[in-house]
Amino acid sequence: MANLDIKKLRDETPGCANVTHLNNAGAGLMPQPVLEATKGMLDLEANIGGYEAAAEWGDKLEHTYDAIANLINADHREEIAIIENATRAFDMAFYSLPFEPGDKILTSVTEYASNVISYLHVCQKTGAELVVVPNDQHGQMSVDALETMLDDKVKLISLSHIPTNGGLVQPVAEIGRIAREAGVLYMVDACQSVGQVPVDVQEIGCDFLAATSRKYLRGPRGTGFLYVNKEVIPALDPVMLDLHAATWVAPDRYEIRNDARRFENWETNFAGKVGLGVACDYAMDIGIEAGSERLRELAATLRSEIESIPGGKTHDLGLVKGGIVTFTVDGLDPDDIVAAWAKEKINANTSSVRSTRFDMEQRGIEKMVRASVHYYNTEEEIEKAMGIVKNLM
């Protein structure tokens, strides 16, 4: 296992004293420094006023942009926008792109429902076409198929780095290389990957990357961020503007910001914004590589335990697998497993066809248990969870 002080990490995570948390793909448990920073901003707002608190903690609020840029290896803090969640961050970038009849949007078989709904919405309005790139033999997007599908009608390649319904880690850097060579815009939904695996926008080569605070990054809910490559910012027209995203310079004229904050709006969750910055710092202090190594090893242990029981089957695809473990057990309803765990204060969730319809319909799966581990989980917690499953059989 990676060289981490697990006792210290658990001591710094109040929730570990109360629950076995295997729902990190839903929302991770906040560590104490993030909790204190978030509450500290709320306390300050209550004591001296919201505007005054923002002014007093202005340096902390601005630091969050640097912390995010450091986390994902962005060139400039001006490439970062802080937005209330990953879906809205994704949409603010996506809906700013001009599509015309015949344009193509390429995506993956494992694409998330919210993203697909956005694609279809724009396609219905503009006459663009959504095209799903097939998987390779490992269940990840086929880079060979992608290369053959590129033509002058392809305006965007867009996919989820790690899908919501499994441990697959898409080969985003290889896809980025193909996108750059073809001169096609490239968008990555990093909602499940930021904080779970190393995410480097230079290595990936994406033009846009959207992420949340609440999942593997272990930040507060209601915060997320958008990365936009500085080279493409000037050409992007957000679907909405306010006096933060633009300046009213004359009765009949405004000037839009020249950085990624053109995608923000004036009112935001200031406490969450401070907490997001601390969550980024905390992740970097622990070490993304070390944390990722441990959680992926825990996930591998869980998969092995599931496969060892009669009728147990994991459903995670890909050459590289992350910390999300999806499984079924013959004769057991996934909801019953999650309910049995909940009675013993083990948090998990299910993943259904509604969230990743292309993938799960293709594989003939209606619903699976989704257990998502983090580096602060333990082997004993996995053993306890699996003992409950065995007792249900």
Could you tell me if 55 and 196 lie in one domain?
yes
Burial of residue 13 (number of CB atoms within 10 Å: 0-12, 13-18, 19+): buried
**Residue 146 shares a structural domain with residue 194:** yes
Mean pLDDT score across all residues of the chain = 97
* pTM for the model: 0.96
CATH number of the structural domain spanning residue 94: 3.40.640.10
88 lies in some domain: yes
Beta carbons of 223 and 275 less than 8 angstroms apart? yes
- Same domain as 69, residue 170: yes
Give yes or no for a contact between 184 and 155, defined as CB atoms under 8 angstroms apart. Answer: yes
Answer yes or no: is 129 within a domain.
yes
Q: Are residues 197 and 300 in the same domain?
A: no
Q: Percentage of the chain with pLDDT > 90?
A: 99
In a domain, 136, yes or no: yes
pLDDT at 3: 82
| 270 lies in the same domain as 304 | no
Last residue of a domain, one of 285, 311, 328: 285
Q: Is the pLDDT of residue 2 over 90?
A: no
- Residue 325 within any structural domain of the chain: yes
Per residue in 314-333, pLDDT (tens digit) is 999 999 999 999 999 999 99
pLDDT tens for 150-208 read 999 999 999 999 999 999 999 999 999 999 999 999 999 999 999 999 999 999 999 99
Helix, strand, or coil (residue 273) = helix
Collapse the DSSP code of 378 into the 3-class scheme (helix H, G, I; strand E, B; otherwise coil) and give the result: coil
Tell me the β-bridge partners of 217.
none
Domain stop point among 285, 313, 336: 285
CA distance 23 to 324: 9
User: Is residue 361 a part of any domain in this protein?
Assistant: yes
Tokens of 272: 């969450």
Token pair recorded at residue 336: 């019953």
**Same domain flag for 11 and 53:** no
| Same domain (yes/no): 227, 254 | yes
Predicted confidence (pLDDT) per residue in 271-311, tens digit: 999 999 999 999 999 999 999 999 999 999 999 999 999 99
Q: How large is the angle between the packed helices 288-308 and 270-286, nearest 10 degrees?
A: 80
Is 1 a domain residue?
no
Q: Are residues 88 and 170 in the same domain?
A: yes
Same domain, 295 and 181: no
**Antiparallel, parallel or unpaired: β 349-352 and 312-314:** unpaired
Task: Report the CATH number at residue 369.
Answer: 3.90.1150.10
Of the candidates 283, 276, 288, the one whose C-alpha atom is nearest the C-alpha of residue 219 is 276
Question: Stretch 19-41: mean pLDDT, rounded?
Answer: 98
Structure confidence at residue 1 (pLDDT): 47
The verdict on 51 and 68 lying in the same domain is: yes
- Verify that 331 and 368 share a domain, yes or no: yes
Q: What confidence tens digit (pLDDT) does each residue in 229-269 have?
A: 999 999 999 999 999 999 999 999 999 999 999 999 999 99
Residues of the domain holding 214: 33-285
What are the tens digits of pLDDT across the range 87-118?
999 999 999 999 999 999 999 999 999 999 99
In total, how many domains does the chain have? 2
- Mean local confidence (pLDDT), 26-34: 98
The rounded distance, in Å, linking the Cα atoms of 267 and 244 is 9
**Residue whose structure tokens are 């809910």:** 221
Residue 393's pLDDT is 87
Final residue of a domain: which of 255, 285, 315?
285
Same domain, yes or no: 13 and 117 = no
163: in domain:
yes
